[in-house]
Amino acid sequence: ARTPVTVTVTGAAGQIGYALLFRIASGQLLGADTPVKLRLLEIPQGVKAAEGTAMELDDCAFPLLRSIDIHDDPRHGFDGANVALLVGARPRTKGMERGDLLEANGGIFKPQGQAINEVAADDIRVLVVGNPANTNALIARAAAPDVPADRFTAMTRLDHNRAITQLAKKLDAPVSEVKKLTIWGNHSATQYPDVFHAEVRGENAAAAVNDEAWLNDTFIPTVAKRGAAIIEARGASSAASAANAAIDHVHDWVNGTPEGDWTSAGIVSDGSYGVPEGLISSFPVVSRNGRWEIVQGLEINEFSRTRIDASVAELIEERDAVQKLGLI
């Protein structure tokens, strides 16, 4: 068997954590031949609930699960971590200004970045799920100067998966026939799901849809506001689908994306497509040899350009705000 991989999950006692941990322990994150050591990080008030989840993990007798450790100190939680899923975050509460939200999350993601810098394994890969995910990833990355910047990523895979299904339904195709869709920009209401390079049953998706009003008035808002629609319907925010997307993201990062397709991930910009260098923005990406690469050379039409620029402008604002707060 292969050497065990240490996976740290923050916010382990939360909803997404509950949907995520069992799938990691069963081998769906890294593959059926890779043993896993789980490290759960929680705030002190979350530790007891995390212990309960750990008891249930024990009770599954997962053959691949080698150990479970629970911590409330990031310096212990990230010790030796090869993969870190940063799920725990400070949610926006009523009356909270955006600056307060960024500051509260800075208080979480800066010390976590510092701890990753100090104690994680050399091959550490970080996925930030907790919102505002792109900017939280930026804060953690800035606090970890010894870790290569491309190891810090933010999740837009749930948006990507949501967009695939909406497009598949529109064209009455199975989801497996939808390829090369892209989420651009911020994981927020400004995100831009782009079908202009997507293929459905091998045919260009925008041509097959042939309905700009549907894209603008139905598809884009449905994808961008899906989280709110789920809260409305379930009475709780999406958890299993968010956990599923986190699994997809790390699985593809480690194992590679399939030939002839790409996916979407928030990664550090190298300046491609006019996205300022250093921002953590969603791009069309493939994973090769364990690294994300931006798909190059796509033609960006006017419709897309406006929407990408708007989402990137929001990322710039968030970056400037956390810079002012001294968080990066």
11 is in an annotated binding site: yes
Amino acid (one-letter) located at 43: I
The reply on whether position 13 binds ligand NDP by CB under 6 A is yes
How many CB atoms are closer than 10 A to CB 90? 20
121-to-11, 138, 191, 247 alpha-carbon distances in Å? 20, 20, 32, 20
Cβ-contact 153, 126 below 8 angstroms? yes
Pairing of strands 192-194, 182-184: antiparallel
The reply on whether position 14 binds ligand NDP by CB under 6 A is yes
278 is in an annotated binding site: no
Cβ-contact 268, 141 below 8 angstroms? yes
128 is in an annotated binding site: no
The reply on whether position 16 binds ligand NDP by CB under 6 A is yes
d(CA 325, CA 244): 33
Interface residue with ligand NDP, options 130, 193, 266, 284 (CB under 6 A): 130
Per CB under 6 A, contacts with ligand NDP among 257-286 are none
Interface residue with ligand NDP, options 5, 7, 140, 158 (CB under 6 A): 158
Least distance from ligand NDP to the Cβ atom of residue 51, Å? 12
Least distance from ligand NDP to the Cβ atom of residue 40, Å? 9
The reply on whether position 106 binds ligand NDP by CB under 6 A is no
Q: With contacts defined by CB under 6 A, how many residues of the chain interact with ligand NDP?
A: 26
251 noted as active-site residue? no
Taking the CA atoms of residue 190, residue 191, residue 194 and residue 199 in that order, the dihedral angle to the nearest 10 degrees is -150
- What is the DSSP secondary-structure string of 179-227? E--EEEB-SSTT-EEE-TT-EETTEEHHHHH--HHHIIIIIHHHHHTHH
Per CB under 6 A, contacts with ligand NDP among 215-234 are 227
166 is in an annotated binding site: no
The reply on whether position 239 binds ligand NDP by CB under 6 A is yes
Least distance from ligand NDP to the Cβ atom of residue 202, Å? 30
The reply on whether position 43 binds ligand NDP by CB under 6 A is yes
The reply on whether position 237 binds ligand NDP by CB under 6 A is yes
Which residue has the CB atom at the shortest distance from ligand NDP? 14
The reply on whether position 108 binds ligand NDP by CB under 6 A is yes
28 is in an annotated binding site: no
Measured from the CB atom, the residue of 14 and 284 that comes closer to ligand NDP is 14
The active-site residue, picked from 71, 160, 187, 197, is: 187
Among 244, 209, 314, smallest CA distance to 15 is for 244
130 is in an annotated binding site: yes
Using the structure block, give the residue that is written with the tokens 């986190």: 246
| Dihedrals phi, psi of 21, to nearest 5 degrees | -65, -40
**Secondary structure class of 71 (helix, strand, coil):** strand
162 is in an annotated binding site: yes
Give the neighbor-by-neighbor strand order of the sheet with 199-200: 178-179, 199-200, 203-204
Task: Give the residue numbers of the binding site for NAD(+).
Answer: 11-17, 105, 112, 129-131
Annotated catalytic sites, by residue? Answer: 187
Contact residues for ligand NDP, defined by CB under 6 A: 10-11, 13-17, 41-43, 46, 87-91, 108, 129-131, 158, 227, 237-239, 242
Task: Give the residue numbers of the binding site for substrate.
Answer: 92, 98, 131, 162
